[in-house]
Every structure is written in C-alpha cells, then in structure tokens.
Structure 1
Amino acid sequence: MQLTQEETSHSIQGIDLAELTEQFGSPLYVYDADVIRRKVTALQHAFSSVDMKMKYACKANTNLSILRLMRSIGVELDVVSPGELEIGMLAGYEAGQITFTPSGVPFYEVQEAVEKGAIVNVDSLPLLEWFGQTFGNTKPCLIRIKPNVAAGGNIKIMTAHADSKFGISVLLLDQILEVVKKYKIRVIGLHQHTGSDIKDAAPFLQVADILLDTARHFPDLEVIDLGGGFKVSYKPGDEITDMKLLGNKISERFQAFCKEYGRDLQLWFEPGKFLVSESGYLLVKTTVVKEDPARNFVHVDSGLNHLIRPMMYGAYHHILNISNPAGALKTYNVVGYICETDTFASDRELPEVRQGDVLAFLNAGAYGFTMSSNYNARQRPAEVMIDNGEAKLIRRRETMEDLLRTQLD
C-alpha cells in the first residue's frame, strides 16, 4: 500500500479526520468520494478498447449516498436481494439498470425482481426450469456458470471452485442447453464470479476462456459478465491486480471472441470492494491501554459488531494513530469492546497509543457497515461522506430506540 499524502497527514480533502470524531462522534465511518471516482476511472481506462459496463456489487456498501454517487458517474448495479434492489431504485436507478444475482433464494423473490424489470442471473438448474416455465421467452436472463476454478485471497471468498454453492457447473452444460431449448428461454448473457482479492491475471484469463468457450453454445448473447474480485491494497508493499495488464489481455480475448461470434457483445464487470474499499475509514477512540506481561492491549470503542472482517476472514486493516503519529513505536494487540474475542490486529507496531487517541482503520469502505450488527445491544455508528471538500452526514448514529423499534410487548 502506498499511503497518500492525505493519509499520512491524517486528512481527506483538507478535512482533519480526528476533528470529524469531535463533530460526529466515535466510532465513525468516513468515505472519500474522490477515491471512488478514481477507481471507476481506473477500470474504465483498463478496458477502454471494448464496450465495457460496470455493475457495482452493492452488497459491499449500500448507503444511498454511495449508490447515488455511482449512478452519477455512470456505474450501474448488481444486487443480491430484494432489499438491495429496492434501495437501488430509491437511489434513482431504473430497474433495467440493475442485475439481480441471487443464490438459492425463494423463487418468488426472482419473480418480484423480474416483474419490476431487473435482469436476473439464474444460478441453478431448478431456477432455470422454473424461469422457463414461468416466463418462457418473454423475459431475458443471464445464466451464472460455475467454471470450477479455485482462486481468491481466502477460501471463504472463493466462489467458482467445484465445491462452491454459487452458479451452475460448466460440466452441466448439456442440461442447461436442454432446459433453454425446451422453454426457448431468452439467454442474453453468461456470468461468472471467481472470488475476491485475486491479484494475478492468470485466474481471470482462465475463467474468461471457460466462459467464452461456453458462450459459443448460445446464439443470442448480448453480454459476457466476468464478475469482479480485483485485489486492492491493504498494507504497505501489498501486491494488487495489474489492471492495465489484465485489461489488455482480457480485451484481446474478448475482441477475438466477438469477431468469431459474428457481432460485438458488451463486457460487464461487477466490482464491489475494488470501487469502495479504499475510500473508507473507520475512526475509533482508544478507551483503555492495558500493559499486560504478555501483550500490550489497545482497547477501542468499537468491535466486531462494526467491522467483522478481521475476525471472519482474518482480514488485515492498516491502522494509523492519527492523534500521536510521531510517537515512539510500540507493539500492541488492538481489540474491541465486544464480549467475545474481537481482535482487530495482533502484534501491530503503532506510534505510542494513549487513552483517548483516535485510530483510523483503513480499507473500511467495503463490507464494514453492511456487515455490522447490534450484537451486545450496541448501536451502529454514523457514516460521513467527504466530497468537494465538505463532510456530510449520510447516516445518523443509531439510538437505543432504533434497537427496540421492532420489538413488541
């Protein structure tokens, strides 16, 4: 990770991060709109030689302000639930700009999405059969293919290997074609998603070859959807996906396929973390510094209820002490306030941390707030977006009344 001047000076667009906790409280999620714009531009440049469309995988961060920003810069949506579909439409998207990619959901959810005008990614043979019986050739769909390729930063975020629940195995192609032919289903695209945190081009190229080879069996395609999974930088020196190299290689394959296919298709990607992860910061305050014979512990006013990725995936989040950046380096375990083992970082070297210091967890824009909970009856934090040099509250902090609102006597 190459820390920017803004990160090392602990400000975003000239706004001091520590002061935001005084204004909006702690803990606090903060997003830098400029970073999102830069990531969108980077992907556009990487695939500038083909007709490419971005579908933001909004499960990464569903805040309405984030979605409205995406819409304003021409990024469409990929959703995985009726709730995300509804939020997308509230953000101003037309249903036809939204792809619904379910995973084993009740069929009525698919029917609702189709009837609203969303395009569905069919992820199982039973759903394909139902789709044909229900809609025949009156509604378009994509089919999610499982290419049986294992790639990604963690087994929990690999989605295309043989044991994954996602998609229809490419080995079942004959059965897929039989159902499509039986009901004359309008298959306008093929889709796959390999996983997350893939840094090498090789897995992307492997699954692209498999999907393009499969596409030869479908005569009426308009779209090839290669999903997402591009690796972002988490720590200094971290390797990331070489987008220029990947863009050149995939574009070359895609253009050759289109020429063979007889017409130009559109290439879709569904980046989530890639677009929003590096835009986000979780700001926390130090509550207790405990010097134990075995470890020095830094306790903060947050926990796995606000950022579960370190405990769920062993994910690394770079941490800055923005209150004492020039302090002498010491080694700490940074831990949360939940009555569980909720360790954010182990044996992490930081400038000396004192009670009341503000720490910033980087790469908190994706799968932070959206995976948060009210465990231990804790409220979720507020969210702030910084855009055009202005910090705007885009979600207020929860209250105890929010936690009790749906309970009945």
Structure 2
Amino acid sequence: MQLKDRNYQIQGVDVLAIAEEFGLPAYVYDADKIIEKIGLLRSSFTGVNLKIKYAAKALTNVSILKLMRQQGVEMDSVSVNEARMGMLAGFEPGQIMFTPSGVAFDEIREAVDLGLQLNVDSLPLLEWVGQTYGGAVPISIRINPHIAEGGNIKISTGHADSKFGISILQRPEIRAVVEKYHMSVAGLHIHTGSDFKNANAFLRGAEVLFELASDYPDLKFIDFGSGFKVAYKAGDHITDIVDLGRKVSETFQAFCQQYGRELELWFEPGKFLVSECGHLLVRTNIVKENPTRTFVAIDSGLNHLIRPMMYDAYHDIKNVSNPLGNEKTYTVVGYICETDTFATDRPLPDVRPGDVLSFENAGAYGFSMSSNYNARLRPAEVLVYDGNPYLIRQRETFEDLMRGQVDVPILNSEIIEQQV
C-alpha cells in the first residue's frame, strides 16, 4: 500500500473508496503483489524444472485460486474440500497435491477417486494405501527430517516430536511397506515449518531427501514444501529468495546428475505468495482512555484475524483516515468477549472514532482461519485486479449464521414451570 496525496492506494485505488463501496470490515487483496511474488520465485530458480504449488490453506477464495492458475501456478491442498475448490477454479486433479494429516481413510479414497496426487505422511496410511491400491496409485512420501528450524513452535513441523510426516529414522520400515505392495513412489516430500531466514534448512532437508532417493529409482519430483519468511514490520529479516534459489538450484542439479535423470523441483508456498497482498480494513468504534493506556476498539476481533492471539504475530497497522496525524500510543483491541488484543502500546497517528485502520500482511491465514465466534459475521473479501476492485466474497448475513441449524418442534412448547 502506498501513500500518495495523503491517501492510501492499492493499484491506484483509494482504500477509503474501497471501504465506502464495500463496507467494513473487509479483506482487500492486491493481485499485483501476488503476481510479483510468483515472478520472484520463478526467476530465482534457474536450470531446474520448477513447479510452484500454491498452499491453498493460506487463502482459499476461489478467485485467488483462479488467479494462481492463470499465472501457471499449481496447487497444494490439505483437505478434499480444498481440492474441490481448486477444481472449481479450473485446476486439473493431477495438478493438485493432497497432503492430509491423520484424516479418515474414506477421505483418502475420495482423493484417489478424484485423481489427486496423494502425499502419504504416516506408516499406517502407507500400509492402507498399499493394501488398497498396490502399485496402481503413484504416491509421494512425506518425510519428517528431524530438523528444528523456523519460527513459532506452533508452525514448526519438521522437528522430531512433530505429528507431521514419517520419521527419517523409519526409513527401513517405509521401504519394507513399499516393496511389500510393489507401490509406485513418484515423489519425496518435506516441509519443516515456516519463517526460515536462509537456505540452510532447505539444504539440510535436501541432504535427507537426496539420500533417501536412492531407495526409489522411479521418482518424478522432489518437493521441498515451503517456509519462506516474510516481513511483518520494518527491519524484519526475510528469506533471501534469490540466494535460496541459487543454492538450492545448484544442489538439485548436482543431485539429478547423480540420480541419472532430471526430476521436477516442487515448492509449496502459501504465506510467501499471499501474505503481503492482504489488508484487513476495519473501523474504529471508540477510543477509550484508561489511567494506564488508551484503547482503540474496532469493529473486528480474533474471529476475523486470530494470528496475533494464536501466534503472537505482529501486523503493522495504518491509520488510513488520518495518516499524517500526531503520533500517539494505543492498544488496539477487538469486540470479542475475551482478550483479543491486536497490538499493545503501538505508536499510531492520532486515532479518532470512525477512522479506518488497515492491518497489513493480512492475506495469509486471515480469512481462512476466521470464525463466527460470538455469532459475529465474517467480512467481505475484495480483490483489486488490473486497477479495479472486485467483490469476491459477500459479507455474511444473519441468515448465513442460521443456515444448517435445525428447528426441533418439541422445543417450541410453552415454558415449563419449575416446581420449587
């Protein structure tokens, strides 16, 4: 978002005009920023057969999925419903990686019937797939490399105690099951978490997968997942994608030569592609001055953006209505009936009731983790594409809250008087 003539703009569109047209709160996404990130990733990996699989869990709106497909990006899903959304957006089933974690076998069967690329992350699932399909269904195997790097422990997935993947220490057991059922292993997968600052975690993971690859002569791809760190505030250290691309490309090329043929190199970025594109626009309800601090209470809460409360995540906040106001210190809170603090003692331009604020870097795991807690409605979503804002999700209504609830007639009787 840029400051121009005192107005915040996205692709030349005044953010306050977006707020006026679509109402608040609203998630607003900048398509240009997504396209920019895709281009950076592609240009950073040279001399390899790169495939980008968008991790749809970060932001699953069908219009965003269509934008990804339009840009030649494929898809990574963690549920069959995500995959179905992808197919509605135009993806072919074979373009969708399906990486479940502990789901029912019925969902696995459904994924196979749809034609998704199945990624197996447990020995029991590997055994079941072998018993059920033998070598008829090409699979990928998700490995837990026992690499503890990255950010918040809640999003670290490659350490020894993580629920994700099959432990590299179980390599003999994996091979035994594959050989027992003559299974077809098309790929090896690793995803060790998020917020990696440099290439080291990927290179360490590469060593694990490249060594394991000797067990499987018919591989088509190696999948490194993702975990690229993005900046949430000025001065944040980010993943150097150019450096990462150069080092991983060189390592992968050397591996392919040793393996005997060229494989595809897959990455599954989610946050990296959509985090910076997103802005959660909210309105200030009241400014409440207490003896110890001044609160800004807004028309949103952890039901719309849970990351600050769940991960202690930092989101920069802009006062869109008064960007040049005198700076004061505020604690920004939501309207939920428990602590839902977005920012504590944050310096902001003078905030007044009615001012529009923007939470930056809100594209990833914002709307996709939202809820109807406190019977609150989820916000609208807007995509700015080619200089024009488009509504891509309607704001919820009370009827949406009640949809699916069933009226039990016996409960419609008169109040039962209590005997004292």
- Helix, strand or coil at the partner of 1:174: helix
TM-score, normalising length: structure 1:
0.98
1:54 to 42, 52, 55: 52
Structure 2 partner of 1:142? 140
- Larger displacement relative to structure 2 (397-406 or 6-15): 6-15
Structure 2 partner of 1:254? 252
Structure 1 partner of 2:367? 369
Matches within 5 A, 1:9-408: 9-408=7-406
- The Cα shift of 1:6 comes to 6.6
Counterpart-to-counterpart distance in 2, 1:7 and 1:223: 49
Counterpart-to-counterpart distance in 2, 1:4 and 1:214: 47
Change (3 A) 1:327 1:42: same
1:258 counterpart letter in structure 2: C
- The Cα shift of 1:263 comes to 0.3
- Helix, strand or coil at the partner of 1:189: strand
Counterpart-to-counterpart distance in 1, 2:128 and 2:193: 27
Change (3 A) 1:345 1:8: farther
Aligned-CA RMSD value: 1.1
Counterpart-to-counterpart distance in 1, 2:27 and 2:359: 10
Counterpart-to-counterpart distance in 1, 2:166 and 2:55: 20
Counterpart-to-counterpart distance in 1, 2:4 and 2:302: 27
Counterpart-to-counterpart distance in 2, 1:14 and 1:263: 48
Change (3 A) 1:7 1:175: farther
Counterpart-to-counterpart distance in 2, 1:200 and 1:223: 23
- Helix, strand or coil at the partner of 2:296: strand
Change (3 A) 1:8 1:191: farther
Structure 1 partner of 2:413? none
Aligned sequence identity (%)? 63
Counterpart-to-counterpart distance in 1, 2:40 and 2:2: 17
1:278 counterpart letter in structure 2: E
1:201 counterpart letter in structure 2: A
Asked whether the equivalents of residues 6 and 12 of structure 1 are also in contact (C-alpha less than 8 Å), the reply is no
Change (3 A) 1:8 1:71: farther
- The Cα shift of 1:19 comes to 1.7
- The Cα shift of 1:218 comes to 1.1
The one-character-per-residue Cα deviations of 1:6-44 (angstroms, maximum 9, x if unpaired) are 798510011111121111111000000000000000000
Counterpart-to-counterpart distance in 2, 1:386 and 1:348: 28
Counterpart-to-counterpart distance in 1, 2:3 and 2:119: 42
Counterpart-to-counterpart distance in 2, 1:4 and 1:23: 20
1:377 counterpart letter in structure 2: A
Counterpart-to-counterpart distance in 2, 1:133 and 1:403: 43
- Helix, strand or coil at the partner of 1:332: strand
Unaligned runs of 5+ in 2: 408-420
Asked whether the equivalents of residues 2 and 8 of structure 2 are also in contact (C-alpha less than 8 Å), the reply is no
Asked whether the equivalents of residues 325 and 349 of structure 2 are also in contact (C-alpha less than 8 Å), the reply is yes
Asked whether the equivalents of residues 6 and 13 of structure 1 are also in contact (C-alpha less than 8 Å), the reply is no
Counterpart-to-counterpart distance in 2, 1:313 and 1:380: 21
- Larger displacement relative to structure 2 (13-22 or 125-134): 13-22
Counterpart-to-counterpart distance in 2, 1:208 and 1:331: 46
Asked whether the equivalents of residues 82 and 109 of structure 1 are also in contact (C-alpha less than 8 Å), the reply is yes
- The Cα shift of 1:48 comes to 2.5
Runs of 4+ in structure 1 over 3 Å off: 3-9
- Helix, strand or coil at the partner of 1:275: helix
The one-character-per-residue Cα deviations of 1:50-104 (angstroms, maximum 9, x if unpaired) are 1000000000000000000000010001000111011111111111110100001
Q: How many residues align?
A: 407
- The Cα shift of 1:182 comes to 0.5
Asked whether the equivalents of residues 13 and 389 of structure 1 are also in contact (C-alpha less than 8 Å), the reply is yes
- The Cα shift of 1:209 comes to 1.3
Counterpart-to-counterpart distance in 1, 2:2 and 2:149: 29
Between Structure 1 and Structure 2, whose CA radius of gyration is higher? 2
- Helix, strand or coil at the partner of 1:10: strand
2:102 counterpart letter in structure 1: G
Counterpart-to-counterpart distance in 2, 1:50 and 1:296: 54
- The Cα shift of 1:4 comes to 4.9
Asked whether the equivalents of residues 322 and 358 of structure 1 are also in contact (C-alpha less than 8 Å), the reply is yes
